[in-house]
Amino acid sequence: MENVLNKFVENSKEILKDNLVGIYLHGSAVMGCFNSDKSDLDIIVVVNEPMTDIIKRQYMDMIIDLNGTAPAKGIEMSVVLKKYCNPFKYPTPFELHFSVGHIDWYKDNPGDYIDKMNGQDEDLAAHFTIIKKRGKCLYGEPIEAVFGEVPKADYLDSIWNDISEATEDIVENPMYIILNLARVMAYQQEDLILSKKEGGEWAINHLPERFHPLINTALQEYESSIEAAYDYDIANSYAEYMVGKISSDMIAEK
């Protein structure tokens, strides 16, 4: 992991030159629960000025090449302009984005990818919040000089988008949904910014006992490379309980 991050920084400096403000790590890699089989490397790159299409192409070629040496889930990266970081703008515009799900698109039609892979991303509110609370500056200006405060309403809206369909999604991706619901509730109730693992541990101490075996199963899967077996009746009940509670509290807070 460290070798990939070091190369990412050096290559970014070479390509972006004086336009590069900083490179910031968030996600499991800074929250003490990185699993090389299940975790990606979550990176935000901040620049001063918009990137030209030529520079975007060079940058994407670099990332695709480097991603081949990254952990199993690869690199997830967004490039954003500094002016949208402080004061924070929501939904947040981005210059460029990459995750492993986009590799084929870029390889098949890089011009189309460069033309279309920009816009606004609600998820950046969650990423910026984690950077502010627990992130790491890999290169450039310090976090406090680049990122402004993300309003709680924007952060909650961002993470709600990730779990609003949990009652349907939990069958396809139970481990992720179980732990993500827990950390959303932990933030809502106690303003805690937690990893998935920490969210699961919080849930064991705060949620009804009938859900504890399910949560423990998700934690065991998260910390191993073995796919777990879930009781989907309990999983569906858990998702309904959590989504109902989170959504009702969100309405009460407005």
| pTM (2 d.p.) | 0.90
Q: How confident is the model at residue 226 (pLDDT cuts 50, 70, 90)?
A: confident
Q: What is residue 238's predicted lDDT score, i.e. its pLDDT?
A: 97
Q: How far is CA 114 from the centre of its chain?
A: 22
Tell me the C-alpha distance between 28 and 38, whole Å: 10
3-state secondary structure of 137: strand
Average pLDDT over residues 192-214: 95
- CA quadruple 64, 69, 75, 79: dihedral sign: negative
Closest CA to 156 of 16, 66, 252: 252
Distance (Å) of CA 28 to CA 38, 40, 97, 195: 10, 8, 19, 6
Q: What is residue 47's predicted lDDT score, i.e. its pLDDT?
A: 98
Q: Which residues contact 73 (CB under 8 A, 6 or more apart)?
A: 38, 39, 40, 100
Asked if 138 and 11 count as a contact pair (C-beta separation under 8 A), the reply is no
Q: Kindly report the number of other CB atoms within 10 A of residue 243's CB atom.
A: 20
| pLDDT(251) > 80 | no
Q: What is the mean pLDDT of the chain?
A: 93
What is the DSSP pairing of strand 41-47 with strand 20-26?
antiparallel
User: Using one digit for the tens of pLDDT, what is the confidence trace for 116-142?
Assistant: 999 999 999 999 999 999 999 999 999
User: Using one digit for the tens of pLDDT, what is the confidence trace for 208-222?
Assistant: 999 999 999 999 998
Tokens 């509670």 locate to 245
Average pLDDT over residues 168-196: 93
**162: burial class by Cβ within 10 Å (0-12, 13-18, 19+)?**
middle
Average pLDDT over residues 156-161: 86
Q: What is residue 17's predicted lDDT score, i.e. its pLDDT?
A: 98
User: Using one digit for the tens of pLDDT, what is the confidence trace for 22-63?
Assistant: 999 998 888 887 766 767 899 999 999 999 999 999 999 999
- Between 251 and 183, where is the model more confident? 183
Q: Which CATH class is domain 2-150?
A: alpha beta
Domains of the chain by residue range: 2-150, 153-253
User: Using one digit for the tens of pLDDT, what is the confidence trace for 71-120?
Assistant: 777 999 999 999 999 999 999 999 999 999 999 999 999 999 999 999 99
Maximum C-alpha span of the chain: 56
Dihedral angle at the C-alpha atoms of 77, 177, 209, 240, nearest 10 degrees?
140
